[in-house]
Structure 1
Amino acid sequence: MNAVPQYDPLTFGENALKLRTFRQQVLGNNLANSDTPGFKARDIRFADVLKAQLEGIAPSNAVNLATTHSAHIPGKVPQEDPRLLYRIPNQPSMDGNTVDADVELTEFTKNSVYTESALTMLGGTIRSRMSAITGQPS
């Protein structure tokens, strides 16, 4: 039997809300570029990215440059966000755009509902902690 990891509700809520906000931006970008030739729709695997964040695994979007001499200054080259994945289109368009407006709008709406629930959960966690600190019911 696998043990389910326990996370602090405040930390979980904060990370979930930040990630939901990030996903909303990604989905909004997809919708905004639905008519842009060659644009490739992106998304994240929410559960996988949230789990990695809660476990302290930070995404690295930079590649370290090799140094060949001890006097060289180490450097990094930025790359795109490794959390972003390309969405596989149901029906690719002739101009190379992979955005399906119906899929994106559905995901955008679902993510909005999940964001509202994350806000509600985080608010409840904060109220219960304030109640515990002050000794007064929330």
Structure 2
Amino acid sequence: MITRLNDSLDFHGQALGLRSERQRLIASNIANADTPGYVARDMNFAQALKEATGSAPSAGTLATSSAGHIAGTPGTRGEPNLLYATPSQTNLDRNTVDMDRERANFADNSVKYEATLRFINGSVRTMLDAIRGQ
């Protein structure tokens, strides 16, 4: 039972970290909406979560062939699995930030972040109730 709870909390902890990183990316896009030449960034959340939990081979992780090499870690800044947003319309200053898309992504990601927090809280509360015998 403890192992299942641990696995669940580890998974949701990884998801929470990735949601936080995605929120940072979206906020950066919004902050640079008026910056000429700025290219909006985003991540494929499902793929990043698979890589972070070990469910899929990491496209952005480099193999270490020597003990002196530094292993690439999923979920870190500057990771190659970040994507460039496709511009929905041409812009004279070559900025690809679409504020409607960014606002929608920000709200969607915020709701999912909150849902993950609630799930973690519910899991911990259930375990505490089982320990207390209530």
Give TM class, smaller chain. Answer: 0.7 to 0.9
Q: CA RMSD in A?
A: 2.8
Please list, as runs of the form range in 1=range in 2, the aligned pairs for 1:1-138 lying within 5 A after superposition.
8-55=7-54, 59-60=60-61, 80-132=78-130, 134-137=131-134
SS at match of 2:33: coil
TM-score, normalisation: structure 2? 0.77
Q: Distance in 1 between matches of 2:28 and 2:102?
A: 10
Residue by residue over 1:82-117, the C-alpha shift from the partner in whole angstroms, topping out at 9 and shown as x without a partner, is 231101111131111000011001100110111110
Amino acid corresponding to residue 132 of structure 2 in structure 1: G
Q: Which moved more, 1:26-35 or 1:88-97?
A: 88-97
Which has a greater percent of helix? 2
Amino acid corresponding to residue 131 of structure 1 in structure 2: D
Q: Distance in 1 between matches of 2:34 and 2:27?
A: 13
Q: Which runs of 4+ in 1 moved over 4 A?
A: 56-59
Amino acid corresponding to residue 29 of structure 1 in structure 2: S
TM-score, normalisation: structure 1? 0.75
SS at match of 1:103: helix
* Number of equivalent positions: 122
Q: Distance in 1 between matches of 2:36 and 2:125?
A: 48
Residue by residue over 1:112-138, the C-alpha shift from the partner in whole angstroms, topping out at 9 and shown as x without a partner, is 111110110111111122233x2333x
SS at match of 1:110: helix
Residues 91 and 49 of structure 1, relative CA distance in 2, 3 Å threshold: same
Gaps in structure 2 of 5+ consecutive residues: 1-5
| Identity over aligned pairs, percent | 38
